[in-house]
């Protein structure tokens, strides 16, 4: 499904945050953009959903995180990873919907050499690294690749891969093993410049949107659950916990926290992950508006044959299956119809009001297996579209997916919450939280004792590393998705 490019320019100001994890600094950046409409966000999320991927002593590890988050942007978080010997730094997208870390390699057909994101693109060269090793077709790690991609052998006995995306873009290459470098906190001790051997993809060909320089990064960092994901590899080596966490700040310039480890918060509630799924599927059981449970059959949310409820920080908005969306919108409208003027704007259910939405619109509760509920404030399901004569137009940001039986909880509802992906415990937890505050992250000491390290305070003015973003075409935003694989869902 090709992605429409919208020829519009907007100014993006980069805001920088820093969070300290037991003495380890994570840098998180975001760019502010304005001017998107819900229809454009839906279009980009539609491409995102069409590209879902089918398919010892531990410590908290720091990958320095940068990037964007905004309800009116397609959000992207990316990190810098160091690979090879001597180490070379690469900018890679963080993607919870795919599994493999891959970077552009030398030589590469179609790979961009410059980026409109004002980052320096690099190429990994296996002939230069003194610690690299090839993954042969008989290597058991090559078999893991078949879980996440089309895999095959070339005439040099290299374990190859092909990733194909729903918008027509794709990449192919071969797997290598080499050193990845990181800082780690174990107990009260910080150790810098650690390294481990991990398998990652060496991209020798890219097509479609991946080739466009105005939206380019060096590769993709998959945070999925399969064996070739870096988090799975580091965990199996006893280097990191089998968990990661994020807390995305929704107001006052955005920002947030992302760590390899479990953020600890007394108000966290957990729901089990659905077993044997390629995505982070959970069992949503019911939806309540203003305390009243909606009349929706639980089968609407059941996981089976590519159906169900997915938690995905790579999706900008949130999406309900059609059978849940219509009762949800009807219930919201009934509650507020005496206080606001309902209207339909460009196919979206909207409301015209001069009052604060917090005073008018009801809370929404998403209720999951295990008794966990995600409480949504009005700002977690509404987006302000524009203003008319001094009145604000607020639209329901949660969108409809027709005929697919899929519900996707994206950044619209995940922002301003701690979200913990406890892969070892096969559960996901969350709690409403001010993501500008400090957090604790659990870590295990050498004697097996669980301790906690403080992840510090977010500081809006702590890093001068990047200038203000210059005028950037909205075309860039098309690539600012956490790219994943699967078949193309004909959403919307």
CB distance 178 to 86 below 8 Å: no
- Concatenate the DSSP letters of all residues of 337-388 into one string: TTTSEEEEETTEEEEEESS-HHHHSPPEEEEEGGG-EEEE-GGGTEEEEEEE
Maximum average pLDDT range among 107-121, 125-139, 232-246: 125-139
Tens-digit pLDDT profile for residues 296-312 = 999 999 998 778 999 98
* Residue at which a domain ends, from 384, 413, 442: 413
User: Lowest-confidence range among 43-47, 260-264, 405-409?
Assistant: 43-47
pLDDT of residue 444: 61
* Residue at which a domain ends, from 383, 413, 443: 413
Does 382 lie in the same domain as 300? yes
Q: Is residue 418 part of a domain?
A: no
Does 315 lie in the same domain as 196? no
Q: Is residue 107 part of a domain?
A: yes
Does 205 lie in the same domain as 98? yes
Cα separation values, 310 from 53, 279, 286, 306, 490, Å: 12, 7, 15, 10, 17
Does 453 lie in the same domain as 304? no
Q: Give yes or no for residue 1 having a pLDDT over 60.
A: no
**Per-residue pLDDT averaged across 66-83, rounded?**
63
Q: Is residue 475 part of a domain?
A: yes
Grade residue 19 by pLDDT with cuts at 50, 70 and 90.
very low
Q: Is residue 129 part of a domain?
A: yes
Q: Is residue 287 part of a domain?
A: yes
Does 294 lie in the same domain as 245? no
Q: Give yes or no for residue 96 having a pLDDT over 80.
A: no
Tens-digit pLDDT profile for residues 396-409 = 999 999 888 999 99
pLDDT of residue 248: 79
> One of 70, 95, 183, 209 is an active-site residue; which one?
95
> One of 209, 312, 380, 411 is an active-site residue; which one?
312
88: helix, strand or coil: strand
Does 231 lie in the same domain as 147? yes
The CB density around residue 304, as the number of other CB atoms within 10 Å, is 9
Grade residue 165 by pLDDT with cuts at 50, 70 and 90.
low
pLDDT of residue 135: 93
Domain, as residue range, for 102: 9-264+433-479
Q: Give yes or no for residue 281 having a pLDDT over 50.
A: yes
Q: Can you tell me the distance from the alpha carbon of 155 to that of 325, in angstroms, rounded to the nearest whole number?
A: 52
- Concatenate the DSSP letters of all residues of 390-417 into one string: TEEEEEE-EEEE-SS-EEEE-HHHHTTE
Beta strands in 110-146 (DSSP E): 133-134
Q: Is residue 1 part of a domain?
A: no
Percent with pLDDT over 70 in the chain: 70
* Active site (annotated) includes residue 434: no
Q: In this structure, what DSSP letter does residue 53 have? A: P
Q: Is residue 421 part of a domain?
A: no
Does 256 lie in the same domain as 275? no
Tens-digit pLDDT profile for residues 176-226 = 999 999 877 766 666 777 899 999 999 999 999 889 887 788 998 888 888
Tens-digit pLDDT profile for residues 407-435 = 999 888 988 999 999 998 999 999 999 88
**Per-residue pLDDT averaged across 272-296, rounded?**
94
Among candidate residues 291, 285, 307, 277, the one with its CA nearest the CA of residue 423: 277
pLDDT of residue 137: 87
Does 134 lie in the same domain as 109? yes
Q: What is the CATH number of the domain that holds 38?
A: 2.40.70.10
Instruction: Measure CA of the first residue to CA of the last residue in the chain; give whole Å.
Output: 13
Among candidate residues 273, 244, 270, the one with its CA nearest the CA of residue 257: 244
Does 234 lie in the same domain as 351? no
Residue of higher predicted confidence among 193 and 245: 245
Q: Can you tell me the distance from the alpha carbon of 421 to that of 429, in angstroms, rounded to the nearest whole number?
A: 7
Q: Is the pTM of this model over 0.85?
A: no
Q: What six digits make up the tokens of 95?
A: 């993607």
CB distance 141 to 239 below 8 Å: no
Percent with pLDDT over 90 in the chain: 39
Beta strands in 290-340 (DSSP E): 292-293, 308-311, 318-321
Phi-psi region of 479 (alpha: psi -120 to 50; beta: other; left: phi over 0): alpha
pLDDT of residue 258: 78
Residue of higher predicted confidence among 446 and 285: 285
Does 246 lie in the same domain as 276? no
User: Lowest-confidence range among 53-57, 59-63, 131-135, 307-311?
Assistant: 53-57
Count up the domains in the chain and report the number: 2
User: Lowest-confidence range among 27-36, 380-389, 438-447?
Assistant: 27-36
Does 220 lie in the same domain as 72? yes
Q: Is residue 254 part of a domain?
A: yes
Does 199 lie in the same domain as 60? yes
Average pLDDT, the chain: 77
Q: Give yes or no for residue 472 having a pLDDT over 60.
A: no
The CB density around residue 363, as the number of other CB atoms within 10 Å, is 15
Grade residue 83 by pLDDT with cuts at 50, 70 and 90.
very high
pLDDT of residue 465: 31
Tens-digit pLDDT profile for residues 126-142 = 999 999 999 998 888 88
CB-count burial class (<10 Å; 0-12, 13-18, 19+) for 445:
middle
Cα separation values, 344 from 329, 347, 349, 390, 395, Å: 12, 6, 5, 18, 9
Instruction: Give the dihedral of Cα atoms 4, 6, 7, 11; nearest 10 deg.
Output: -140
pLDDT of residue 85: 96
């Amino acid at each position: 499904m090709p992605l429409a490019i919208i020829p519009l320019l907007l100014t993006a100001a980069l805001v920088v945050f820093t969070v300290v994890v037991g003495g380890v600094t994570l840098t998180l950046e975001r760019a502010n953009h304005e001017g998107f409409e819900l229809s454009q966000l839906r279009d980009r999320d539609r491409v995102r959903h069409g590209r879902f991927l089918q398919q010892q002593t531990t410590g908290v590890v720091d990958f320095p995180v940068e990037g964007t988050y905004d309800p009116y942007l397609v959000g992207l978080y990316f990190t810098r990873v160091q690979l090879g010997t001597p180490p070379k730094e690469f900018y890679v997208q963080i993607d919870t919907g795919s599994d493999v870390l891959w970077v552009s390699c030398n030589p590469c057909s179609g790979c961009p050499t410059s980026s409109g994101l004002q980052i320096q693109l690099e190429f990994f060269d296996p002939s230069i690294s003194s610690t690299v090793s090839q993954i042969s077709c008989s290597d058991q790690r090559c078999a893991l690749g078949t879980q996440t991609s089309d895999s095959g052998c070339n005439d040099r006995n290299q374990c190859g891969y092909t990733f194909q995306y729903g918008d027509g873009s794709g990449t192919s290459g071969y797997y290598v093993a080499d050193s990845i470098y990181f800082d780690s906190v174990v107990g009260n001790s910080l150790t810098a410049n650690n390294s481990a051997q991990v398998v990652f993809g060496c991209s020798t060909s890219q097509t479609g949107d991946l080739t466009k320089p105005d939206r380019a990064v060096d590769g993709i960092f998959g945070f999925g659950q399969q064996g070739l994901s870096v988090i799975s590899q580091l965990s199996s080596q006893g280097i990191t916990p089998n968990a990661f966490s994020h807390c995305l700040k929704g107001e006052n310039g955005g920002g947030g926290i992302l760590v390899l480890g479990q953020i600890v918060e007394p108000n966290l509630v957990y729901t089990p992950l659905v077993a044997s799924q390629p995505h982070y599927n959970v069992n949503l059981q019911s939806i309540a508006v203003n305390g009243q449970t909606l009349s929706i059959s639980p089968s609407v949310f059941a996981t089976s044959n590519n159906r169900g409820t997915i938690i995905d920080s790579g999706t900008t908005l949130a999406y309900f299956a059609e059978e849940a969306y219509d009762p949800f919108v009807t219930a919201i409208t009934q509650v507020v119809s005496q206080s606001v003027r309902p209207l339909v704007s460009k196919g979206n259910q909207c409301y015209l009001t001069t009052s604060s939405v917090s005073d008018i619109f009801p809370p929404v509760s998403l209720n999951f297996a295990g008794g966990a509920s995600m409480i949504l404030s009005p700002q977690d399901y509404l987006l302000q579209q524009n203003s008319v004569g001094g009145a604000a137009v607020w639209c329901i940001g949660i969108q409809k997916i027709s005929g697919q039986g899929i519900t996707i909880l994206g950044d619209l509802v995940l922002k301003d919450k701690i979200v913990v992906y406890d892969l070892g415990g096969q559960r996901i937890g969350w709690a409403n939280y001010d993501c500008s505050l400090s957090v604790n992250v659990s870590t295990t000491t050498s004697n097996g004792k669980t301790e906690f390290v403080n992840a510090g305070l977010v500081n809006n003015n702590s890093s001068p590393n990047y200038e203000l973003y210059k005028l950037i075409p909205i075309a860039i935003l098309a690539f600012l998705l956490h790219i994943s694989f699967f078949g193309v869902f004909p959403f919307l």
